[in-house]
Amino acid sequence: MTAPRTTPRNSGPFFFLQHFASPSVKKDRLAIGETAKFSMRRNLESIYSHLENALVPSEPFSTSSLSESLQGPEFSFLLPSTIDDSLLSQYSSDVLFPSKLSNQLTDLTTELVETSKSMASGTTESPRILDMMELTALFGVPNISTFISAFFQTLHWHLPIVHFPTFDPGNVSNPLLLAIFLAGASYATPLDGISLSPLIFDVAEEYIFRKILNLTTTQSSKDPRYILPTVQLIQGALIMEMLQFGRDDMATRRRIRIMRHPCLVSTIRSLGIFQLKRGTAPKAHDDRTWNILVAEEVCIRIACWVFLADGFLTVCFKNHPALSIFEMDCHLPWPAELWEAEDAATFAKIAATQSNEHTIPPLKDVVTQLLEASETEPLIPWSQSLSPEDLLILIYALSSLAFQTRTGLLKFLPFDTIFRGAKNWKRIWDSVIDSLDQKQFLHLGYPKHAEELWWLLTATLDIANNPEQGFAYLNNTATDELGNLNDFIQWCHQSTT
């Protein structure tokens, strides 16, 4: 293998992959918390404003409404004459004067407890049931701001499928609210020092994927604006899938790999999201049109990031792909700066600076052109419009094709063709990354590690026709542990240093 070009962005060609596959890593294996240290700090005023509105009591305060709030058995010791202002210091305001959001959190905790009970029924083991009091404390109003903020400062950069500028905590479905809460709780310290039990994640996973299983895919309209509850359910499922993979638990990993992920892919396929294309190019728009574009973009990002998840399972665990690159007939996602634009006016200004001279074709066509273009010819005209996120998706696509060729699933696609595609990818990567400044590059989450996947891919292609090497990573057997990957990466690292 040729020695890698050194860059100040990491300490070698396998900086992240060595961390990910290392058996010594027991916490934050996906390095989400580490990356968050270098990520852009957000202006959270819009979130706080939405939260204030969502936490306004459902009914105006009055003595009669307070009396009605105190009808439960836990308040039976009170007589009507004892209800006065002194009670406000004994009970939290969200208990005495519930808001829409606090009511939603109460409903969610009840549903989770019921889910845990149903999971425990019929088992021979001692029942594992969530404690209502612990859940109520965790999903209480005091933690809302902390957890939602933590989600957008950490996991969001790695899984940018929720649109931060238009996210309204007061108008979000239970599954998505739950997933965001747990993601934030994983990277923030809950008030009162409440500990996060692994059981909470398992029950949340079951709760969300039961809804996925029961989801009807015969939508009356495919317009992203009219399938918002379905879209939010899928967003919640993707977030839970990533959270569960972040845990270093093989049984959980296997369940996600062979049950949850194929279910999610099948659902998205049935909804036609893998073929979604934008109705118009990003340009100056009013608020209404911008929101329509955002709804389309959310669905495109769902398609692209579930494809990334599929490629991740293939590259790291030799899982046979559940999704073919040749069915990915959707557009590639917007660049991060368009996706993060805080309003329609800012979006319009950024869109005006984007060149529309060379429109990027749908994802499957981009991959096809990478495979067919000669590496000695000039770069493909639209290549300079690709973002680091696009290039991460594309290197996973090439890696998935290489795996399928190696296992005999794509005999018509020779290794030489994939190698040509990999060389074209690297030329584009070098050109695109050189045009970014260092500070901007650090904000990108996983895309900044895409070059490591290129090194891994070229290593597998280099020795694909040399089976006597005997690497377990190169056989066809799926696995749920990282030992095979770790051994191969260590060999690759030694070969490049």
Percent of the chain that is helix, strand, coil (3-state, to 5) = 65, 0, 35
Amino acid at the residue 340: E
- Alpha-carbon distances, residue 88 vs 47, 61, 419 (angstroms): 27, 12, 69
What is the three-class DSSP state of 316?
helix
Spatial CA neighbour of 330 closest among 368, 278, 288, 375: 278
Contact 4, 13 (CB under 8 A): yes
- Which uninterrupted H or E stretch holds 119? helix 100-120
Contact 322, 265 (CB under 8 A): yes
Q: Which residues pair with 57 in a beta bridge?
A: 99
Spatial CA neighbour of 334 closest among 309, 299, 308, 306: 299
pTM of structure: 0.88
d(CA 92, CA 106): 14
Spatial CA neighbour of 252 closest among 211, 209, 214: 209
What is the three-class DSSP state of 99?
strand
d(CA 371, CA 494): 29
d(CA 429, CA 384): 9
The pLDDT score that the predictor gives to residue 379 is 83
d(CA 280, CA 359): 11
d(CA 1, CA 3): 6
Contact 262, 314 (CB under 8 A): no
What is the three-class DSSP state of 154?
coil
Contact 435, 450 (CB under 8 A): no
The pLDDT score that the predictor gives to residue 377 is 83
The pLDDT score that the predictor gives to residue 497 is 65
Cβ partners under 8 Å of residue 3, min gap 6: 496
The pLDDT score that the predictor gives to residue 82 is 47
The pLDDT score that the predictor gives to residue 192 is 65
pLDDT in tens, the chain (497 residues): 443 333 334 456 888 899 999 999 888 888 888 777 777 777 777 787 878 888 888 665 444 444 454 454 444 444 444 445 554 444 445 554 578 888 999 999 999 999 999 998 866 666 689 989 889 888 888 888 889 999 998 899 899 999 999 999 889 999 999 999 999 999 887 666 667 888 999 999 999 999 999 886 555 556 666 688 899 999 999 999 999 988 888 999 999 999 999 999 999 999 999 999 988 878 767 888 899 999 999 999 999 999 999 999 999 999 999 999 999 999 999 988 899 999 999 999 988 887 666 689 999 999 999 999 988 888 888 898 899 999 999 999 999 999 999 888 777 889 999 999 999 999 999 998 888 765 565 566 788 889 999 999 999 998 876 655 678 999 889 999 999 999 999 998 887 76
Cβ partners under 8 Å of residue 427, min gap 6: 375, 379
Question: Burial letters for 164-175: b for 16+ Cβ neighbours within 10 Å, e otherwise?
Answer: bbbbebbebbbb
- Which uninterrupted H or E stretch holds 297? helix 287-317
Structure tokens given for 234: 């899928």
Contact 295, 278 (CB under 8 A): no
Cβ partners under 8 Å of residue 244, min gap 6: 201, 205, 252, 253, 255, 256, 260
Residue bearing tokens 């990999």: 422
d(CA 325, CA 398): 9
Dihedral Cα 427, 327, 302, 213, nearest 10 deg: -150
Structure tokens given for 73: 């058995």
What is the three-class DSSP state of 106?
helix
Q: Which residues pair with 99 in a beta bridge?
A: 57
Our measurement of the distance from residue 286's CA atom to the centroid of its chain's CA atoms, rounded to an integer in Å, reads 28
Q: What value, to the nearest 5°, has the Cα angle with vertex 420 and ends 417 and 424?
A: 140
Contact 263, 306 (CB under 8 A): no
Contact 329, 272 (CB under 8 A): no
What is the three-class DSSP state of 57?
strand
